[in-house]
């Protein structure tokens, strides 16, 4: 068990990454039809796994074009410092995403953050060349998402551990309902507020790092606590 009693699950697109990776790829390389799939998903007619699988099948790009595009995307400027801090405190951190594993791995590696466990959809070359396909190794029965973040929350508990979720949008709503605390960006803030979920709003990982010691020592949740044993690294 983590010495702090907590484990952290963190969304990627729009949370760790500045841009939504799949949206940026579709804008640049998507063939006609991906917008209708997006509309059907937002209207609730299909789940995110069906939407993503259909959209990925409409991408028209080489591996070299894909990687060059990914190398132009950015991560939140405070994420590397956040990772260093939680590793120093012995807090487990996993990336849980309904996005693309190749994109996540490449962006993390480019920023020196390889080694983080990742649960995401698997992107692989299709046929003919320049076409792609999606598989979802972290799907769950009864869940329409490619990565079932609710199942990730339950697995992360591993007995008595508490779960902090960090996320930003609709793919995080169900997991937020099951987490013990949420650091929320964007649409996830309104969901947590409306559902009465314990949360703190953040705009970036500098905010998350500033809040984390108080969560780990109990004072963020309103519990009296002594001086934090989790000093923020200089």
Q: Is 222 buried (19+), middle (13-18) or exposed (0-12) by CB count in 10 A? A: exposed
Write down the mean pLDDT value for the chain.
92
| Residue 177, token pair as written in the block | 């309902």
Round to the nearest angstrom and report the end-to-end CA distance of the chain: 27
Higher confidence at residue 159 or residue 183? Answer: 183
DSSP 146-198: SS-HHHHHHHHHTTT-EEEEEE-SGGGHHHHHHSSEEEE-THHHHHHHHHT--
pLDDT in tens, 8-19: 999 999 999 999
Q: Which domain holds residue 109?
A: 6-19+74-121+138-216
Whole-prediction pTM value?
A: 0.92
Residue 92 lies in a domain: yes
Residue 96 lies in a domain: yes
Which CATH number does the domain housing residue 194 bear?
3.40.50.1000
Residue 40 lies in a domain: no
Q: Which residue has the tokens 């959809």?
A: 121
| Residue 166, token pair as written in the block | 């960090």
Q: Which residue has the tokens 């490449």?
A: 106
| Residue 156, token pair as written in the block | 């992360």
CB 10 within 8 A of CB 86: no
pLDDT at 230: 58
């Amino acid at each position: 068990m983590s010495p702090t009693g907590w484990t952290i699950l963190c969304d990627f697109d729009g949370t760790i990454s500045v841009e939504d990776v799949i949206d940026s790829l579709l804008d640049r390389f998507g063939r006609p039809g991906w917008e209708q799939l997006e509309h059907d998903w937002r209207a609730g007619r299909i789940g995110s796994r069906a939407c993503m699988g259909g959209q990925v099948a409409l991408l028209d790009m080489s591996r070299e074009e894909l990687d060059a595009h990914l190398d132009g995307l950015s991560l939140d400027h405070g994420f590397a410092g956040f990772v260093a801090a939680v590793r120093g405190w012995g807090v487990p951190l996993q990336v849980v995403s309904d996005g693309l594993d190749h994109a996540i791995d490449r962006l993390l590696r480019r920023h020196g953050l390889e080694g983080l466990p990742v649960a995401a959809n698997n992107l692989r070359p299709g046929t003919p060349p320049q076409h792609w396909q999606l598989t979802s190794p972290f799907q769950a029965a009864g869940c329409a998402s490619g990565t079932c973040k609710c199942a990730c929350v339950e697995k992360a508990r591993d007995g008595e551990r508490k779960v902090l979720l960090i996320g930003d949008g609709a793919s995080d709503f169900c997991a937020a309902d099951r987490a013990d605390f949420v650091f929320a960006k964007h649409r996830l803030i309104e969901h947590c507020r409306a559902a009465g979920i314990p949360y703190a709003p953040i705009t970036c990982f500098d905010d998350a790092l500033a809040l984390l010691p108080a969560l780990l020592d109990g004072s963020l949740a309103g519990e009296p606590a002594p001086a934090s044993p989790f000093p923020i690294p200089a």
